[in-house]
Amino acid sequence: MNQTSTTMRSIMFAIVAMGIVFSVSGMVVGNLIQTANATHPGHKHNNDNDEHSDNNPTASQNAGAGPVSGSSSDGGDIGVVSGSGIGSFGSDVAAQQLATTQASSTNAACGQVVSGVVNLTANLNCSGDGIIVGGPNTVINMNGFSITGPGQDSSKVAIMVPNVDNVVVNGPGSLSNFQAGVLLTGANGFTISSVILSNNQIGTFMTGADNAQVQQNIIQGNSIGVASHSSTGASIDSNLMNGNLLAGITFVNTQQSSVGMNNVVGSQNGVFLDGQSKQNTISANNVLENVIDLNNANGLPTNINANQYVDNSCDTSNPSGLCIGK
């Protein structure tokens, strides 16, 4: 069985177990995984419970293999974005010029592969993908601008981070009307903060990722606010989540991660962890006015998957007893 079908099967099963409509949510997550694999089929993350394999070790190299000059009819400013292919210039002078370009701020356009320091200088209205990160240690400064896509039912992503480490997205700014606001696959050390993620199928979707941080964002009006699949060390903290139809936060086969000090309101499941998600800590959250506020694998006792629920203000949980005083 190939990587795509295996991943789709496991995450669809977990979403169905949540009692969520399969025809909507299964397709949402499955399509996102297909998007990630089609763009960069290689997968760095290695999990003993996962069946992923590194079938394409050159995928992440291709993402930043050389300088890219971009233009777009979708709106926004056009900038020269440089990758890691210094050797192709064949001279020390060219290498110095490339280093200078990477160190300085660059503009961005829809569909562009970017690295270094990227500053938005205008709103981007994209008919396809927004920004694709092609090099490590990239910093995207939203500067109060927005990236808007062709709609939730598209297969497009606002910010795609494929097998690239230590990427930072700084708000203020907004990502809306995409299948995913952020698609993070096979990366280590990602941070997004002070961004509004709205009207997407999934606000932030991470698969095979390590040590991602989603902090101090407004995540509203999506089908799922934050989804984590086969990831480790995620930190979902101090976010305002409202009206994410199917779930505020969903963990599938996710370990040693934390969910803390979030406000999660108005979803079918406020916070859901499946049976393969182990050794996670859910603490000090306000999870209210959801059909089920806290859901540990549809009632699985917490000692089975070693998840800890501490000091959460909520009304309903499955199993019972996960809310303060309930």
User: How does DSSP classify residue 89?
Assistant: G
Tell me: pLDDT of 68 over 60: no
Q: What is the CATH number of the domain that holds 36?
A: 2.160.20
312 domain-assigned: yes
262 domain-assigned: yes
Tell me: pLDDT of 182 over 60: yes
105 domain-assigned: yes
Query: How many Cα atoms within 13 Å fall on the side-chain side of residue 309?
Result: 28
Cis peptide before 172 (omega within 30 of 0): yes
324 domain-assigned: no
109 domain-assigned: yes
**Residue-level pLDDT at 146:** 98
323 domain-assigned: no
Would you give the end-to-end CA distance of the chain in angstroms?
A: 44
Q: Which domain holds residue 67?
A: 3-318
326 domain-assigned: no
**Residue-level pLDDT at 180:** 98
135 domain-assigned: yes
Q: pLDDT tens for residues 284-301?
A: 999 999 999 999 999 999
Count up the domains in the chain and report the number: 1
124 touches 150 (CB < 8 A): no
